């Protein structure tokens, strides 16, 4: 007998839309392999309206509306509230998926979204780094108290199973440090600068393909990398950390002369993220570094990302994600949903 689950989607930007397309693509597979079906009963956006339909929103129509610049409101069958917390409370769902933009300083309003959903008895999956860094302990405790789960696989390396790896596979292992490239935008920008582009030209290209934001400072100044480092340290190393506690230097200071000097020595500039445990403290850093061909970071190009973990039982364990996009982030959300249900591949 097929079991139907109801989803509330908070945020419907590139990741949210990719998630909707993934649900459509996986519809038959979910039914055939797992006896599951999904109805999206609510979608709320920051600028394209909102809709609640207890019988299920037509995702094809929702995607078409946004592609034609029309609001979602015409799909509403439940007098959907405009305020997000009220919307979440009014939406009949067992799962809430949160994909709103990150706030590097407070994690809001995503934390409030998640608290509201958990208090309503919903499981929560987010791609947002903010609530992981600023609310991990409190949100995990609230989820446990409500008999729900709070997962966030997509928050750091898109769909790559970083948190699940430690949660489900590496039992008894202790993370002592890590090093890698966690911001795909700056990796692309530095690669283009190595080909002769200026930083401004590289940013313009990144914006044209949707990799760089209209305001690229979150990437260029290292904030996105810092919040990802803080999330890994907080969750995997058991040491609460926020972005201001990460020693952070962005890539604005990288000049053409520095690029040329590195190339002449057979090296490349990379924005390197790292953390290491020293006694009871964890020292975390984000900064540009020159790496040579002997480093696994040297060949991580384009929008790819890489993390190498050092554990007390394994000297080095690396994860490479090649050129991720919204589709891979959407998969992380999907995988968390199946993990909450206890579903494994078969």
Cβ partners under 8 Å of residue 295, min gap 6: none
Residue 139: left if φ>0, alpha if ψ -120 to 50, beta else—which one? alpha
Question: Would you state the pLDDT for residue 171?
Answer: 86
Give strand pairing partners of 37: 4
Catalytic residue among 61, 228, 270, 281: 228
pLDDT-based confidence at 43, cuts 50/70/90? very high
Question: Would you state the pLDDT for residue 346?
Answer: 54
pLDDT, mean over the chain: 95
Dihedral angle over CA of 232, 280, 244, 329, nearest 10: 0
Cβ partners under 8 Å of residue 25, min gap 6: none
Determine how β-strand 95-98 pairs with β-strand 123-126. parallel
> How is residue 58 written in tokens?
């037509």
Q: Report how far residue 128's alpha carbon sits from residue 209's, in angstroms, rounded to the nearest whole number.
A: 21
Please tell me the pTM assigned to this model.
0.95
Alpha-carbon Rg of the chain, whole angstroms?
21
Q: What is the tens place of the pLDDT at every residue in 121-152?
A: 999 999 999 999 999 999 999 999 999 999 99
Q: Report how far residue 187's alpha carbon sits from residue 144's, in angstroms, rounded to the nearest whole number.
A: 38
Q: What is the tens place of the pLDDT at every residue in 74-118?
A: 999 978 999 999 999 999 999 999 999 999 999 999 999 999 999
Q: What is the tens place of the pLDDT at every residue in 152-186?
A: 999 999 889 999 999 989 988 999 999 999 999 99
Q: What is the tens place of the pLDDT at every residue in 284-342?
A: 999 999 999 999 999 999 999 999 999 999 988 999 999 888 899 999 999 999 999 99
pLDDT beyond 70 at 344: no
Q: What is the tens place of the pLDDT at every residue in 212-270?
A: 888 899 999 999 999 999 999 999 999 999 999 999 999 999 999 999 999 999 999 99
pLDDT beyond 90 at 6: yes
Q: What is the tens place of the pLDDT at every residue in 199-209?
A: 999 999 989 98
Question: Would you state the pLDDT for residue 315?
Answer: 86
All domains of the chain, ordered by start, with CATH? 3-159+326-341 (3.40.50.720), 175-321 (3.30.360.10)
| CA distances to 168, 171, 235, 311 from 175, in Å | 14, 11, 10, 4
> How is residue 225 written in tokens?
């990398």
Distance of CA 149 to the CA centre of its chain: 17
Task: Assess whether 146 carries a catalytic annotation.
Answer: no
> Quick one: what percent of the chain has pLDDT higher than 70?
99
Q: Report how far residue 2's alpha carbon sits from residue 12's, in angstroms, rounded to the nearest whole number.
A: 27
pLDDT beyond 70 at 345: no
Q: What is the mean pLDDT of residues 61-68?
A: 96
Q: Which of 149, 150, 155 is nearest to 129 (CA)?
A: 155
Q: Report how far residue 273's alpha carbon sits from residue 251's, in angstroms, rounded to the nearest whole number.
A: 13
Helix (H) or strand (E) holding 51: strand 50-52
> How is residue 337 written in tokens?
């949903």
Residue ranges in the chain assigned as alpha helix (H) = 14-25, 27-34, 59-67, 84-90, 110-119, 129-145, 154-157, 162-164, 184-194, 199-208, 217-220, 223-236, 256-264, 326-341
């Amino acid at each position: 007998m097929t079991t139907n689950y109801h989803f509330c989607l908070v945020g419907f930007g590139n990741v949210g839309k990719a998630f909707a397309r993934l649900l459509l693509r996986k519809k038959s597979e979910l039914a055939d392999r797992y006896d599951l079906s999904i109805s999206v009963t609510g979608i709320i956006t920051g600028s394209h309206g909102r809709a609640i339909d207890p019988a299920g929103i037509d995702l094809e129509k929702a995607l078409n509306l946004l592609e034609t610049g029309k609001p979602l409101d015409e799909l509403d069958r439940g007098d959907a509230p405009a305020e997000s917390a009220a919307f979440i409370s009014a939406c009949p769902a067992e799962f809430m998926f949160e994909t709103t933009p990150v706030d590097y300083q407070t994690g809001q309003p995503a934390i409030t979204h998640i608290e509201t959903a958990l208090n309503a008895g919903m499981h929560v999956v987010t791609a947002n780094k903010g609530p992981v860094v600023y609310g991990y302990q409190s949100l995990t405790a609230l989820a446990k108290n409500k008999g729900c789960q709070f997962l966030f696989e997509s928050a750091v390396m898109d769909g790559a199973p970083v948190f699940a790896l430690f949660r489900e596979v590496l039992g008894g292992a202790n993370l002592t440090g890590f090093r890698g490239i966690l911001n795909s935008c700056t990796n692309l920008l530095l690669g283009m600068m190595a080909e002769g582009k200026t930083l401004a030209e590289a940013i313009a290209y990144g914006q044209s393909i949707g990799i760089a934001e209209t305001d690229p400072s979150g990437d260029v100044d290292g904030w996105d990398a810092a919040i990802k480092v803080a999330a890994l340290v907080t969750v995997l190393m058991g040491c609460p950390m926020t972005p201001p506690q990460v020693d952070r230097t962005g890539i604005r200071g990288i000049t053409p002369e520095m690029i040329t000097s590195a190339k002449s020595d057979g090296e490349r500039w990379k924005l390197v993220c790292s953390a290491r445990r020293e006694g009871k403290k964890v020292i975390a850093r984000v900064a540009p570094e020159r790496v040579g061909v002997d480093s696994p970071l040297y060949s991580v190009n384009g929008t790819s990302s890489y993390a190498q973990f050092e554990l007390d039982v394994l000297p080095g364990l690396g994860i490479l994600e090649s050129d991720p996009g919204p589709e891979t982030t959407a998969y992380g959300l999907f995988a968390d949903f199946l993990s909450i249900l206890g579903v494994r591949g078969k």
